[in-house]
Amino acid sequence: MRNNRQNLRIGVDVGGSSIKCALVDLASGERLERHSVPTPAQGSIERMLDAIATAVDGLPAGLPVGLAFPSVITRGVVRTAAHVNRDWIGRPLERLAVERLARPVTAINDADAAGLGEQRYGAARGERGTVLLLTLGTGIGSALFTGGLLVPNTELGHLEVDGVEAELRAAPRIKTERGWSYEEWSAELNRVISRMHALLWPELIILCGGITDDADQFMPHLRCEAELRIGALRAEAGVVGAALATSLAAAAEA
């Protein structure tokens, strides 16, 4: 392998339907060896840990793992559970994953992970102003940066917009459930984005998630005072940012 082992980390991203995992070279953000398994979203804690272990299985031993999870995470503990089994609330994800994977683990909110990935290697690279990143999927995740620094666990997907939570208005899951066209969905996303913009005034808003593969179908309908960009790492921002989070955590401890 031409990549220097010292730069390699494992990134895991627990999504609504699949758990993605990759070996990531932090020097470049390059993804090597990708694996993916279905997410047992409402499954027990044991089942989720088993699935994460299956995703990581076979990757080099001893490498630190960054684990992106769709919940507020403080000090390695899960604090919310919008799209996973509610038994997770209060559970020490980081410690449980260290025990199960027998590797060092850093747990982080999934949207924050995607933000770190885009900030270091992708669409927000070099941006020093206020940047808001939204992950559009089963829910809506948010990551907020200023001066290149992350404000963790912002949870703007749960912001009420005209009486309805943002993610219940405009997550791609809702588009699918309601059978909306891209134009209909864009109208809801515009409401959500314009409310967030009115509160935070970011200079740049980055949109991530699988639906951005169809960006040409909805970007022409979006209106915002901030610049809108599609994430450069697409569906892999979370795994890349999770891997990066391991080195940020190590630097913070040093």
Residues that bind ligand BGC (CB under 6 A): 70-72, 80, 82-83, 109-111, 135, 137, 139, 141, 155, 157, 167
The answer for 194, left when phi > 0, alpha when psi is -120 to 50, beta otherwise, is: alpha
80/146 with CB nearer ligand BGC: 80
CB of 3 to ligand BGC, least distance (A): 29
Nearer to ligand BGC, 7 or 80 (CB): 80
Pairing assessment for the beta strands 160-161 and 164-165 based on DSSP bridges? antiparallel
d(CA 4, CA 218) in angstroms, rounded, equals 40
Residue 122 or 137: the one with the smaller Cβ distance to ligand BGC is 137
Which is nearer to ligand BGC, 4 or 17 (by Cβ)? Answer: 17
Task: Find the shortest distance in angstroms from Cβ 204 to ligand BGC.
Answer: 19
Q: Which amino acid is at 72?
A: V
| Shortest spacing between CB 79 and ligand BGC, in angstroms | 9
Nearest distance from C-beta of residue 126 to ligand BGC, angstroms: 24
Q: Smallest distance, Å, CB 209 to ligand BGC?
A: 9
Asked if 65 and 103 count as a contact pair (C-beta separation under 8 A), the reply is yes
CB of 65 to ligand BGC, least distance (A): 19
Residue reference for tokens 């949207």: 111
By C-beta, is 16 or 59 nearer to ligand BGC? 16
Contact (Cβ atoms closer than 8 angstroms) between residue 68 and residue 9: no
Complex with ligand BGC: residue 104 or 137, whichever CB lies closer: 137
Report the nearest approach of ligand BGC to the CB of residue 218 (Å). 18
Count CB neighbours of 254 within 10 A. 5
Specify the DSSP element, H or E, that contains 172. helix 172-178
Chain position carrying tokens 């409401």? 191
Q: In what order do the strands lie in the sheet with 105-109?
A: 30-38, 18-25, 8-14, 65-69, 105-109
Asked if 206 and 145 touch (Cβ cutoff 8 Å), the reply is: no
Rounded CA separation 121/208 (Å) = 14
**Helices 45-56 + 93-101 axis angle, to 10:** 50
Residue closer to ligand BGC (CB basis): 71 or 119: 71
